[in-house]
Amino acid sequence: MTSTTSAAPPLSESSLWSCIAVSCGLALSYVLSLYIWGRNNGHDRDHPSTIKRRFVSAFCMLFISPIFVHFFGSRTLLAQHEFSQIIGFRWAGLFNACVLPLILTWILFLGPIGLMILADTRARLLLIPQYWWQSLQDLIWWRNHVVAPFTEEYTFRACMLPILLSQYSAPKAVMVAPLFFGIAHLHHMIERIRKGQPVKTALLISVFQIHYTTVFGMYSAFLFVRTGHIAAPVIVHSFCNFMGFPDFGEMLNRPSRERIILLTLCVLGVVGFYLGLYTFTDPKLFENDIYTW
């Protein structure tokens, strides 16, 4: 199968705005699907009833999101490749897609991983079978590490990028797509305010979250385009949810020797990530002839 260009040239300004409008519609559909149940009897997002209902919404989006791709995705991609391959479901190169981007992300998180080993009991818990058994029975764990990573990457990467690639080149699409992903997290601010958090505090937290999720979204979109696999961003997303945002304050508060080790690991992680970014995501490693960079 011959390689395809990453995007068709823009047809017109109206076509460009239509592409953006459709992407907004896709993002909005995902967010609204979570709130279609109303206030859920006043329960917050971590209540089992809320989680179960949102699982149903996420499942429905698995069928709704591809409709956007079918009607508004890149005509070049749709003409040259199978639909399942366009949205990242392929066998060729799957093992590498599951492993190499995760290793690359581990390198970036060298500092936080070091901190987890030194100061966080989670590192030891991972070796205990009972921890995994309890996690598999926890709806919050399923939401944070399975359902949310898969459904968000499916909608915001696998289905949104083929739409944006109808008007944007791959590098530009990778920069634009995360904006919709970041803004989509604004709904968390509403939930915080409903729980009684001051508006100013909720706003500041949400602004920080938007910036963080936007940066992650760029990385995730980059992985999808470079590997051509949905598995790559899903696994990395799940890992990042497990790690959380790096606690640099805790690192600085560690004893002097540990602090030096952790900060050194942080620097080595960033440098290693930068040097390995294109090597670990070389499309040839994943037999990716669908998306070109």
Which positions are annotated as active-site residues?
A: 152, 185
Contacts of 100 (CB under 8 A, 6+ apart): 232, 280, 281, 285
Tokens coding 140: 């919050």
Angle CA 102–105–109, to nearest 5: 135
d(CA 232, CA 136): 22
Task: State the Cα–Cα distance between residues 98 and 250, nearest whole angstrom.
Answer: 31
3-state secondary structure of 229: coil
Q: What is 242-286 written as a DSSP string?
A: HH-S--HHHHHTS-HHHHHHHHHHHHHHHHHHHHHTTTTT-GGGG
The three-class DSSP label of residue 126 is coil
Residue 9 is given by DSSP the state P
Tokens for 145, please give them: 């590490």
The answer to whether 88 and 158 are in contact (CB under 8 A) is: yes
Q: What is the DSSP letter of 159?
A: I
**Is the CB of residue 196 less than 8 Å from the CB of residue 251?**
no
Rounded to an integer, what distance in angstroms lies between the CA atom of residue 172 and that of residue 177? Answer: 9
Half-sphere exposure of 179 (CA within 13 A, CB side): 10
